[in-house]
Structure 1
Amino acid sequence: MLEEAEEIGRRVRRARLRLGMPQADLATALGKSQGWVSKMERGQIELDRVGLLNAIAAELHVHPNDLIGRPFNSSPTANQWQVAASSIMRELRRYDLTPVFEGTPRSSSQLWQEATRLHRLRDAAANVAIMQILPDLFREARALAEVSTGHEREEAFAIYAVCCKFAHTAAHALGHPELIAMSCERAAWSAGLSGDSVMPAVTDWMRVWDMWATADWADAINLSDKAIRTVQRDYDRGDPLAVRAWGSLQLRAAVSAARAGSKAEAKERIGHAKVAAKRVAQQTGAPTYDRHSLTFSPGNVHIHAISVALELGEQGEALTINRRTEPGLIEALPKSRQGHHHMDLARAWLWDGNRDKALSELERAERIAPQLIRNHPIARSTLRSIVYAERTATREKLRHMSDRFHLDG
């Protein structure tokens, strides 16, 4: 794992030299010292914030995955998801051609039931399984749109758009930049044909995520606000799906502001999201089917508040928020969100100087969502930092003990 940190540093150095950029120039662009850049390129400093990693990649005009070597090397079995990803790419490329589908496609209500299965897999962070299901579902949704009219045709395109969102989420988790970009584009296309007034805002929510890769923080906030305006009227009248989208977009804006270093705006956006989450919690009657798969809730707002604090370098604030959070709010979240939450807590405890608690939280995150955590660059960075610190501490203990035993004498 320590060799992985050194290789990341070497990739940064190669990308910098390819541009003819001195270390001092990169340091100035990042607001760091030249010594910091030098240590980072030697693998002695971890890129333990997504915002920092993305900012470096943006300055070097590469994708963040190019610097961290993602998708990470694993066994042939674990890499089988890339076969499914290629099949999804094929379907997305031929989006405006007659679909290759034998027989009669199922109705939109039946396909929404199939999408519910994807929701459960997403909640469990089973991204490989999602990839394997999507090619057939894309084909069938597109076939339904081809043979139907009116509302049924619009629903077929809504299902196609939601499939794009699932592909987008899984591709982010596993590290497939091309699929990320194409699924986002096709989601916008199908959302416009869906007749769903909230769906275009959901596709903008996806685009904001993609803007983070190039550290376009201001654009990410502006796009969030553009999308918020499109659902504002429905939000004001209390439409449940619009409230979820509005709150989710505020969380996107909060993270964007934190990565831009704008603490006041980040906190303000979290405050807006809390208001929306309270409205969700107060809704009565039958539960609203979350057809857009946004999983917006009070618990999700709390874990975003912790992520925002960490992006601002405030691990003490992150741990305080966690202490004040009702455990039930977190336990009610999907495993995918719980795993991310405990990964963040591991980072917070590590920065706070408690490696034992950091490792405990990281282990818990892996137990909850193993596929997500093993493929997440921040989890790997946190584990590398723990391993390095433990090795350093052990060497120091052995050196002192060696001196006491006079082993060099």
Structure 2
Amino acid sequence: MSHELEEQEAIGRRIKRRRLALGMPQADLGAAIGKTQGWVSKVEGGRIELDRTGLINAIASALHCHPNDLIGRPYTGTVEENQWQTSASSILRELRRYDLTPVFDGTPRPSADLWQETVRLYRLRDAAANTAIIRSLPDLFREARTLAEVSAGREREEAFAVYAVLCKFAHTAGHALGHAELIAMSCERAVWSAQLSGDPLMPSVANWMRVWDMWATADWEDAVTLSDRALEVVQDAYDRGDPLALRVWGSGQLRAAVSAARAGRMEETEDRIRHAREAGARLDAYTGPQPFDRYSLNFSSGNVQIHAISVALEMHDQTTAIRLERRSEPGQIDGLPNSRRGHHHMDMARAWMWDGNREKALAQLRKAEGLAPQLIRNHPIARATLRQIVYAERESTREQLRGMSNRFHLDDQELFR
């Protein structure tokens, strides 16, 4: 048996199984994603790592399936670790019956109290505690929908705004845990409830969520177009310097930057990052009263910094990523929540691995796991990076031992085959 890890072979087998089910030759799959037939053969045999999200999504799109079908998500764990899926089913039930009379015992709390519940979810999300978010959501969905049913005027609109933000939390956790149906349905309901919320920025946030979903099918051009539509909605408020609009507009530019990077449009990617950086600077300079961050977008100059590094890696440019990391302001990145910092260190692990520095790659991956263990252990890029480190260490050790064996005049060279 070859030295490749079983999971990577499984990913290759999934790609091969799907390709054969479609009657698609390896050369056709390669042509669809700009690769050779030999490259596809190596992927299917577990000899090449899929260490870029955009690449995984492009393969899935060419095979007409969801990326989760290829990487085996949601991952199965212990009985206790799998309990979140029961709550996810309850959320899906609530989302399916969105326009029916809600079933809720008692009197729903006012919207101000429900907004405070989103603050708690915000903290859980920043800690990458996605299963805890999923477990909290079913009752909150029922309560918010009930409040919308029994209220009128502004309170009814606020109930729908809360419902939309709950959809956003379900959407984010669904992505982290790999639940495709929850991702799709929570996004659809966010769009619906945003229109009923009376909040002028909420539809833009809902479209920001849709952009993420378009990445799954490698629809990079549509993702950029939708980002621009979301940006149009908030442009006037952004120009006025509204702090919430600054967050929404900056976040939209970052989504557009990732989409452009995956489309291979370097100039546009840099332009989008520049716009986001300007929004971050304006937000840093804002001295007025700080409004409640009801959208929980977590946009900041530090977030722009880590996105600039991330999009460089999307274009397979680790040199730029490492240079940007060295020039970044540590205080801004250190001020980010654990989930964002964990993702950033995972990116830097990949950058150092591509640059040939396994020691630094492993150190960055350890930092990432320490900050956001659930997120990193389940992330396909982190897992691919760790496999690359393992493979490289094995090969390095193998070559060192081969040299020693030659010096010791050992005859049993079968050890190295």
- Is TM (by shorter chain) over 0.5? yes
Q: Does 1:45 align with 2:45?
A: no
Unaligned runs of 5+ in 1: none
Aligned with 1:188 (options 159, 184, 191): 191
Q: Does 1:118 align with 2:115?
A: no
Distance in 1 (CA, whole Å) between partners of 2:98 and 2:203 is 18
Q: Does 1:81 align with 2:87?
A: no
Q: Does 1:318 align with 2:288?
A: no
Q: Which moved more, 1:32-41 or 1:163-172?
A: 32-41
Alignment of 1:6-405 (within 5 A): 6-405=9-408
Distance in 2 (CA, whole Å) between partners of 1:55 and 1:368 is 29
Distance in 2 (CA, whole Å) between partners of 1:131 and 1:179 is 10
Provide the secondary structure at the position in 2 that maps to 1:215.
Answer: coil
Task: Encode CA deviations 1:87-113: one digit per residue, 9 max, x unaligned.
Answer: 111111111111111111100001111
Distance in 2 (CA, whole Å) between partners of 1:182 and 1:174 is 15
Task: Encode CA deviations 1:231-287: one digit per residue, 9 max, x unaligned.
Answer: 111111111111111110100000000000000000000000001111111111333
Provide the secondary structure at the position in 1 that maps to 2:294.
Answer: coil
Identity %: 70
Amino acid at match of 1:86: S
Distance in 2 (CA, whole Å) between partners of 1:192 and 1:405 is 76
Provide the secondary structure at the position in 2 that maps to 1:345.
Answer: helix
Distance in 1 (CA, whole Å) between partners of 2:86 and 2:408 is 58
CA RMSD of aligned residues (A): 0.9
Aligned residues: 409
Distance in 1 (CA, whole Å) between partners of 2:408 and 2:88 is 59
Residue 27 of structure 1 and its aligned partner are, at CA, apart by 1.2
Unaligned runs of 5+ in 2: 413-417
Moved over 6 A (4+): none
Amino acid at match of 1:59: A
CA contact (8 A) 2:227 2:255 kept: yes
Distance in 2 (CA, whole Å) between partners of 1:234 and 1:356 is 47
TM-score (norm 1): 0.99
Provide the secondary structure at the position in 1 that maps to 2:290.
Answer: coil
Distance in 2 (CA, whole Å) between partners of 1:388 and 1:73 is 24
Distance in 1 (CA, whole Å) between partners of 2:184 and 2:34 is 29
Provide the secondary structure at the position in 1 that maps to 2:198.
Answer: coil
Amino acid at match of 1:111: L
Amino acid at match of 2:391: Y
Amino acid at match of 2:269: A
Provide the secondary structure at the position in 2 that maps to 1:156.
Answer: helix
Distance in 2 (CA, whole Å) between partners of 1:405 and 1:71 is 49
Distance in 2 (CA, whole Å) between partners of 1:294 and 1:405 is 61
Aligned to 2:415: none
Provide the secondary structure at the position in 2 that maps to 1:46.
Answer: coil
Distance in 1 (CA, whole Å) between partners of 2:94 and 2:175 is 18
Amino acid at match of 2:88: A
Distance in 2 (CA, whole Å) between partners of 1:406 and 1:75 is 48
Distance in 2 (CA, whole Å) between partners of 1:69 and 1:101 is 36
Q: Which moved more, 1:394-403 or 1:139-148?
A: 394-403
Distance in 1 (CA, whole Å) between partners of 2:360 and 2:292 is 37
Amino acid at match of 1:122: R
Distance in 1 (CA, whole Å) between partners of 2:366 and 2:19 is 35
Residue 131 of structure 1 and its aligned partner are, at CA, apart by 0.4
Distance in 2 (CA, whole Å) between partners of 1:42 and 1:292 is 44
Provide the secondary structure at the position in 2 that maps to 1:25.
Answer: helix
Residue 303 of structure 1 and its aligned partner are, at CA, apart by 0.3
Q: Which moved more, 1:77-86 or 1:338-347?
A: 77-86
Distance in 1 (CA, whole Å) between partners of 2:355 and 2:19 is 32
Residue 318 of structure 1 and its aligned partner are, at CA, apart by 0.3
Amino acid at match of 1:46: E
Task: Encode CA deviations 1:355-405: one digit per residue, 9 max, x unaligned.
Answer: 010000000000000011011110001011111111111112122211211
Distance in 2 (CA, whole Å) between partners of 1:132 and 1:204 is 25
